[in-house]
């Protein structure tokens, strides 16, 4: 049995990265993303896998087909894995991968959008 993992510190690398450091309220956003990521990491292994993503999207009222979920994971993880890591999740929410996310959630996931204002 693998030990339970948690995401690294919420600000690791992102606060120092010039691509993201100009983002207003970056620290607050990172805290929200960490909280949400940990909610969606339903198996407690530090990565969001397909079934966790499926349950997450259903809870948010945005159910997706198995194929759509696989495509989303592939696009977010760069086709290297079949899970979404914490770093991938934050990059998706903050960076150019947010375009991929917006394709699936034009207004962002309801819970996250409300918290970000």
**What's 101's domain CATH number?**
1.10.238.10
Rounded CA gap, 75 and 70, in Å?
Answer: 9
Rounded CA gap, 60 and 110, in Å?
Answer: 7
Residue 45 covered by a domain: yes
Which tens digits make up the pLDDT trace of 58-92? 887 888 899 989 988 888 887 777 888 888 888 87
Residue 112 covered by a domain: no
Residue 94 covered by a domain: yes
- Sorting pLDDT into bands at 50, 70 and 90, what band is 2? very low
Instruction: Give the mean pLDDT of the chain.
Output: 74
Adjacent-strand bridge partners of 49: 83
- Sorting pLDDT into bands at 50, 70 and 90, what band is 4? very low
Question: Any idea what DSSP says for residue 20?
Answer: H
Number of domains within the chain: 1
Say which residue the tokens 């292994």 belong to: 45
Ranges of beta strands (E only) in 46-108 are 47-49, 83-85
What would the two tokens of residue 47 be? 């990565």
pTM over 0.75: no
Q: Residue 46: which domain range? A: 25-105
Between 50 and 7, residue with greater pLDDT: 50
Residue 55 covered by a domain: yes
pLDDT at residue 65, as a whole number: 92
The distance from CA 45 to its chain's CA centroid, rounded to whole angstroms, is 15
Residue 42 covered by a domain: yes
Residue 19 covered by a domain: no
Rounded CA gap, 3 and 96, in Å?
Answer: 32
Residue 72 covered by a domain: yes
Per-residue burial over 14-25, b = 16 or more CB atoms within 10 Å of its CB, e = otherwise: beeeeebeeeee
- DSSP reduced 3-state for 17: coil
Residue 5 covered by a domain: no
């Amino acid at each position: 049995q693998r030990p339970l993992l948690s995401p690294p510190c919420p600000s690791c690398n992102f606060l120092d990265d010039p691509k993201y450091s100009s983002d207003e309220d970056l620290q607050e956003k990172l805290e929200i993303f960490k909280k949400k990521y940990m909610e969606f990491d339903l198996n407690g292994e530090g990565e969001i896998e397909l079934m966790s993503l499926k349950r997450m999207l259903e809870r948010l009222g945005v159910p997706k087909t198995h194929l759509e979920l696989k495509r989303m994971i592939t696009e977010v993880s760069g086709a290297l894995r079949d899970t979404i890591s914490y770093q991938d999740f934050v990059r998706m929410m903050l960076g150019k991968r947010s375009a991929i996310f917006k394709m699936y959630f034009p207004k962002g996931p309801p819970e996250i959008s409300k918290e970000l204002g």
